[in-house]
Structure 1
């Protein structure tokens, strides 16, 4: 309608410029022409502007002409469009929905869970989203988001949700939200499990049990370390015993006599003062000892 109005205004202004002054007095002709020309130029510029669509960065445009939606979305930039239609813009930037959902665990306990959904519109699906959902998709996404998180939480017990299954639940939530929202034209970037609030008595019991488990694991580590140390000492003692056994087997009388002779020879060759006693004692069956003194 705006294009039609500006076009008619332009035509009327042209008509006034050409014909109007002839019907007025001489002194009014120039002002009438000037005013009509100015109005005509403004209306003409508005008409031309209606044939162009400017889509800013981070958005896409959907063209609707008399209820018919064009199948191709307009990307960022300037585009020629049908002046009789309208351009509806959709954001393609990443959005974040934060929700606090009350859900029931596997054993029937009520939990309060803070979750976030990060998603964005697939630019190529903007015309379908406009026809099937409209400009505001938040209500539909939040409804699905809440239903899916409640369904997932119902498959886990409260202790698992509060402790070691949070990452697994977040991953399942992301996968199921993708399966649910992709056909609608949305891309799910992340689904985050921010916080889990349990009843106070249950939370205290779980934390106490976790502390006991950690203490038990610490003691098991200490015992394992002691067992390893005992095994090390046992191996070390066995090695010393084996060494002594091998050495004692090699200490024969001939070996000891040879070592004695070798030591005596080294001592006799030294320049220090010494007394060298060679041979056994008086009870030996061999020759009596010989005392050498330089």
Structure 2
């Protein structure tokens, strides 16, 4: 009985040490994350092996694991940039990105966990200033937003690709001009719209006038052809045909052939 405490105390001590070691060695990597292993006595950051995947892992208690989110993420940025004529433009943009999983060790070693603030955001700001500086406020306000968005994406992607970051999309969400410039642009656009509408009305009226002229010319030509085709003989024949039709009528009448003008028959009726 006296020996039991002497055996139990070391066992309890060893058990406690094991629990501490296991708790220090165990790590669980969540969904959408990956881990970069840092070996304290083995050369530092592991860059020549794939990162640690999701799930439960056991590592030596003297080593460390840095967890990164490797699914697509979104970052927002509000910027003040200058247009081609030096006016200050406010630009709201966001970027969809993810770290390149196969280079996660390199990313951690060279950029660290603050890679978004150190690399991505400064690159987006620089690209936005460069791109917006090529356009006038009128272009930024109206027709060039899609082009600006595409150019910012291309310039940003060109840089961050070499920094172990995969850029999926850049979205320009809002472009804010100075109030006076915005009002001037809106007035100009309204005037241009009114001018286009006036030109459309003029063209429509001109086409309608041409239509009426063509119709009138057609009627005149038809009448001229008809007049040219009529002569006294034709008229006389028509008159005789009409007289014969009238003579067939049951109403009492006297028909005197050849007694009218131009030799046409006269019809004398009782009524």
Report the TM-score, using the length of structure 2 for normalisation: 0.76
CA distance in 1, matches of 2:246, 2:88: 93
Matched, 1:114 2:92: yes
Instruction: Give the match for residue 132 of structure 2.
Output: 153
Unaligned runs of 5+ in 2: none
Report the secondary structure of 1:152's partner residue.
helix
CA distance in 1, matches of 2:208, 2:104: 68
Q: CA RMSD in A?
A: 3.8
What's the CA shift for 1:277?
Answer: 5.5
Aligned CA distance change for structure 1 residues 68 and 114 (closer, same or farther; 3 Å): closer
Contact residue 62 and residue 72 of structure 1 kept, 8 A:
no
Report the secondary structure of 1:119's partner residue.
strand
Instruction: Give the match for residue 46 of structure 2.
Output: 69
Instruction: Give the match for residue 156 of structure 2.
Output: 177
Instruction: Give the match for residue 214 of structure 1.
Output: 193
Instruction: Give the match for residue 114 of structure 2.
Output: 136
Match of 1:57 among 16, 31, 38: 31
Deviations 1:77-112 (A, max 9, x none): 447665464433221233222222122222222222
Contact residue 55 and residue 74 of structure 1 kept, 8 A:
no
Match of 1:94 among 35, 49, 72: 72
Contact residue 95 and residue 169 of structure 2 kept, 8 A:
yes
Unaligned runs of 5+ in 1: 1-20
Aligned CA distance change for structure 1 residues 44 and 235 (closer, same or farther; 3 Å): same
Deviations 1:136-173 (A, max 9, x none): 21212111111111111222222322233222212211
CA distance in 2, matches of 1:22, 1:245: 144
Contact residue 55 and residue 76 of structure 1 kept, 8 A:
yes
Report the secondary structure of 1:135's partner residue.
coil
Aligned CA distance change for structure 1 residues 211 and 88 (closer, same or farther; 3 Å): same
Instruction: Give the match for residue 210 of structure 2.
Output: 231
Report the TM-score, using the length of structure 1 for normalisation: 0.71
Contact residue 106 and residue 154 of structure 1 kept, 8 A:
yes
Instruction: Give the match for residue 13 of structure 1.
Output: none
Contact residue 121 and residue 185 of structure 1 kept, 8 A:
yes
What's the CA shift for 1:279?
Answer: 5.2
